[in-house]
Amino acid sequence: MSSNRFGQLFSVTTFGESHGPAIGCVIDGCPPGIALAPEDFAHDLARRATGKSRHTSARREADAVEILSGVYEGVTTGTPIALLIRNTDQRSKDYANIAAQFRPGHADYAYWQKYGIRDPRGGGRSSARETTMRVAAGTIAKKWLAQRHGVQVHGWLSQLGELVPSVSDSQAIDWTVVEANPFFWPDAAQVPELEAYMDALRKSGDSVGARVTVVADGVPPGWGAPIYGKLDGDLAAAMMSINAVKGVEIGDGFAAVAQRGSAHRDLMTPAGFASNHAGGVLGGISTGQQIVVSTAFKPTSSLRLPADGLDTDGNTVEVITTGRHDPCVGIRATPICEAMLALVLMDQA
Could you list the residues that contact ligand EPS (CB under 6 A)? Answer: 18, 50, 57, 59, 61, 90, 94, 122-123, 127-129, 132, 302, 323-325
Minimum gap (Å) between residue 55 Cβ and ligand EPS:
13
Minimum gap (Å) between residue 325 Cβ and ligand EPS:
5
Number of other CB atoms surrounding residue 196 within 10 Å? 10
Minimum gap (Å) between residue 127 Cβ and ligand EPS:
4
Minimum gap (Å) between residue 303 Cβ and ligand EPS:
12
Q: Which residues pair with 12 in a beta bridge?
A: 6, 27
Separation in Å, CA 43 to CA 69, 76, 153, 194: 21, 19, 14, 24
Separation in Å, CA 104 to CA 136, 306, 318: 31, 10, 10
Whichever of 90 and 276 has its CB closer to ligand EPS, that residue is 90
Minimum gap (Å) between residue 312 Cβ and ligand EPS:
18
Minimum gap (Å) between residue 307 Cβ and ligand EPS:
16
Q: Which residues, including other chains, have CB under 8 Å from residue 172's CB and lie 6 or more apart?
A: none
Minimum gap (Å) between residue 137 Cβ and ligand EPS:
15
For residues 87 and 20, the answer to whether their CB atoms sit within 8 Å is yes
Peptide bond into 227 cis (omega under 30): yes
For residues 122 and 234, the answer to whether their CB atoms sit within 8 Å is no
Whichever of 18 and 334 has its CB closer to ligand EPS, that residue is 18
Whichever of 61 and 232 has its CB closer to ligand EPS, that residue is 61
Distance (Å, rounded) from C-alpha 262 to C-alpha 240? Answer: 30
Distance (Å, rounded) from C-alpha 117 to C-alpha 66? Answer: 30
Q: Whose CA is closest to 127, among 81, 92, 179?
A: 92
The pairs formed by 305-309 with CB atoms below 8 angstroms and a separation of 24 or more are 305/204, 305/205, 305/206, 307/104, 308/104, 309/101, 309/102, 309/103, 309/104
Minimum gap (Å) between residue 134 Cβ and ligand EPS:
11
Whichever of 278 and 333 has its CB closer to ligand EPS, that residue is 333
Whichever of 130 and 187 has its CB closer to ligand EPS, that residue is 130
Minimum gap (Å) between residue 107 Cβ and ligand EPS:
9
Q: Which amino acid is at 109?
A: Y
Whichever of 148 and 246 has its CB closer to ligand EPS, that residue is 246
Whichever of 24 and 224 has its CB closer to ligand EPS, that residue is 24
Distance (Å, rounded) from C-alpha 37 to C-alpha 67? Answer: 8
Distance (Å, rounded) from C-alpha 254 to C-alpha 236? Answer: 13
Whichever of 121 and 154 has its CB closer to ligand EPS, that residue is 121
Whichever of 94 and 252 has its CB closer to ligand EPS, that residue is 94
